């Protein structure tokens, strides 16, 4: 049995920093909520130990998860298909033939704009849902949207 190779292209190195910031914000919100709950629920020593454990877990997730995601997230486009690999805990590899591409979208949230990054979403005629390539430099994402649109149009033109 042959093994599927990794897609050729990595996401932008700035994506790792953006993911650190996103994870840090999430960890801060969770730790703050747990801290408020610990204060309001009393002074039992066990609550403070649980709060400390939660802070350690959140901080570890804010440091480890973005690095792991960066190592996993990859993408590639050929004349015939879009190939993505993503995830950190549950990893997913998807290949979508150009003949199945329906729409190609570019999105930027506030943090992505701050870091000059974008996400390209490729919607296909698949029950598995769209393919997403997160953490691309904005110019790379714009060029990719143009390339995918052109290739999908060519394939659609060949089919008629």
The pTM score is 0.84
CA distance 107 to 1: 38
Complete DSSP assignment for 63-81: HHHHHHHHHH-EEEE-SSE
Task: Rank 40-54, 57-71, 107-121 by mean pLDDT and report only the highest.
Answer: 107-121
Query: Has residue 144 got a pLDDT over 90?
Result: yes
Q: What is the pLDDT of residues 89-114, one digit of tens each?
A: 888 999 999 999 999 999 999 999 99
């Amino acid at each position: 049995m042959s093994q599927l190779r990794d897609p050729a292209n990595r996401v932008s190195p700035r994506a790792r920093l953006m993911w650190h910031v996103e994870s840090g914000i999430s960890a801060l919100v969770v730790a703050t909520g747990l801290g408020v709950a610990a204060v309001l629920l009393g002074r039992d020593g066990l609550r403070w130990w649980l709060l400390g454990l939660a802070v350690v877990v959140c901080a570890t997730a804010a440091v480890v998860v973005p690095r792991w995601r960066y190592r996993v997230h990859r993408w590639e486009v050929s004349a015939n298909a879009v190939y993505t690999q993503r995830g950190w805990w549950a990893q997913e590899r998807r290949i979508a033939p150009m003949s199945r591409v329906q729409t190609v979208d570019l999105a930027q949230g506030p943090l992505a704009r701050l870091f000059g990054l974008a996400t390209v979403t490729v919607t296909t005629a698949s029950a598995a849902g769209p393919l997403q390539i997160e953490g691309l430099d904005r110019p790379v994402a714009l060029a990719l949207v143009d390339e995918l649109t052109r290739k999908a149009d060519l394939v659609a033109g060949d089919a008629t």
